[in-house]
Amino acid sequence: MIASVIFIIMLLLFALGMPVGFAMGVAGVIGLFWEGGLQAVYSIMSNTPFRSVASINLSTVPLFIFMAEMVARGNIASDVFGAAQKWIGKTPGGLAYATVAASAGMGAMSGSSVAAAASLSSITIPEMRKAGYDAQVAAGVVTVAGTLAIMIPPSIPLVIYGIVTETSTGKLLMAGILPGILTAVSYCIGILLWRRFKPGVFPDGYSYSWKEKFASLKPLWAFLILGTIVIVTLYSGIGTSTEAAAVGAMGAAVITVLSRRATFRDVYQAALSTAKLTTMIFTIIVGAMILGYFFTLSQTPQNLVKAIGDSGIPAWGVMGLVVVLYLFLGCVMDQVAVLLLTLPLTFPLVTQLGFDAIWFGIIVTKLAEIGLITPPVGMNAYVVSATAKIPLDVVFRGTVVMLAFEIITMIFLLAFPIISTWIPSLM
């Protein structure tokens, strides 16, 4: 009962325009006062804000964000897209396939879907429009393809999931490889079927010589180095996820500056953007931890597990309800806020039902990925709309077809957990 009231208060604060982190924190403080009085509030508030973010593991977040910022400023995405365009751009819909390939490449260097969507939309949409693509199709493909960055490692949502649930961050990041590849393949199948059932939507591309094709591979050295650094460090056990993020961030800065892709001013601007975004994420973490202490004090997770256990609902029925919950919240909230708000409740519930923690992390990330492209708060759609100067309703209409293949991929991941757990099992 008390938890329901606190949740309603938090939603009202959201509706009044209070930032997510503060809304969680205020609701949590009210709940703590309700449960334990001023003593409980003082006990939690005297140390929680510091302890919530004073973790070496959390340093992974700003490092991956900085890496993504430097990759975006160094125009590395344009090299990846250019190579993909030369090799597969001739086929009908070739630029759409090239966009998916470029997004997968960005995913190997950036844990930020927003950064990937912004970079890709400024590069790929003008090329697609020049080739005769409709604005709705071009924007829809870029919006959906940009979500690959939060599944393919490095992934900021997976890092946050690992920290909140105390699950191995390294294994979680590696677990995202096969689901990321599966997602990219499903996008390509979606484009193929879209072209088959609606001829003329995807114009023919341009033909390039073999010399041009091989020449397009030359600038990819920066992409290959950065992607290899992160993946090898994580998989081989040479370093932790934090050390992989540090090496990747330093590598992105050094490579882009020495190759004159970026200036020292770009490094400063990247650091400034990183500080702003990190501050936002850490504020949400602090607010979520305060709310989480209220849930713990009121024994909400234990009561929820007991209530569901007594209800007789089978485990997969509960999992279905959890999926619906995340799909709904993803439509109205930022993915980081959704994770931090729900995991204190859903993680103990799901793991006590016997589901694998790493598999659930991939499922939650996939659901957050879907939330990035669904109205009214599909962040990727807003970014693409603002960057490409395309009306928001046009962008959302373009995502509908590809969204169906996101759902199909989700069903595969739910039905075959080994897709998510196989690589971590080898580490």
- Nearest one of 119, 25, 32, 106 to 72, comparing CA atoms: 119
pLDDT value of residue 357:
93
Report if residue 406 sits inside a domain. yes
Report if residue 294 sits inside a domain. no
Report if residue 81 sits inside a domain. yes
More confidently predicted of 416 and 42: 416
pLDDT value of residue 387:
79
Res. 182 pLDDT band, cuts 50 70 90: very high
Within 218-374, strands assigned E span none
Q: Count how many residues are written for the chain.
A: 427
Q: Exposed e or buried b for every residue in 50-73, given b needs 16+ CB within 10 A? A: eebbeeeebbbbbbbbbbbbbbbb
Report if residue 33 sits inside a domain. no
pLDDT in tens, 345-360: 888 888 888 899 999 9
Contact 120, 77 (CB under 8 A): yes
Contact 95, 205 (CB under 8 A): yes
pLDDT value of residue 264:
86
Q: How many domains does the chain have?
A: 1
pLDDT value of residue 420:
92
Report if residue 38 sits inside a domain. no
DSSP helix, strand, coil percent of the chain (3-state; round to 5): 80, 0, 20
Contact 275, 14 (CB under 8 A): no
The neighbour count for residue 402, using CB atoms within 10 Å, is 23
Domain that holds residue 159: 57-284+388-426
Contact 353, 313 (CB under 8 A): no
Mean pLDDT on 238-247: 77
pLDDT in tens, 48-92: 778 777 777 778 888 888 887 887 777 777 777 777 777 776 777
Report if residue 265 sits inside a domain. yes
Q: Worst-scoring range by mean pLDDT, 13-27, 108-122, 385-399?
A: 108-122
pLDDT in tens, 308-352: 767 778 888 888 888 888 887 777 677 777 888 788 888 888 888
Average pLDDT over the chain, rounded to whole?
A: 81
pLDDT value of residue 411:
92
This prediction has a pTM of 0.79
Could you give the angle at which helices 113-130 and 76-88 cross, rounded to 10 degrees?
Answer: 50
pLDDT value of residue 111:
65
pLDDT value of residue 301:
66
Res. 1 pLDDT band, cuts 50 70 90: low
Give me the percent of the chain exceeding a pLDDT of 70. Answer: 94
For residue 424, cis peptide bond before it (omega within 30 degrees of 0): no
Mean pLDDT on 117-122: 76
Contact 362, 423 (CB under 8 A): no
Report if residue 305 sits inside a domain. no
Res. 112 pLDDT band, cuts 50 70 90: low
With left for phi above 0 and alpha for psi between -120 and 50, is residue 354 left, alpha or beta?
Answer: left
More confidently predicted of 29 and 48: 29
Report if residue 267 sits inside a domain. yes
**CA 348, 350, 353, 359 torsion: positive or negative?**
negative
Residue 77, CB half-sphere, CA atoms under 13 Å: how many? 30
Residue 139 pLDDT greater than 80, yes or no? yes
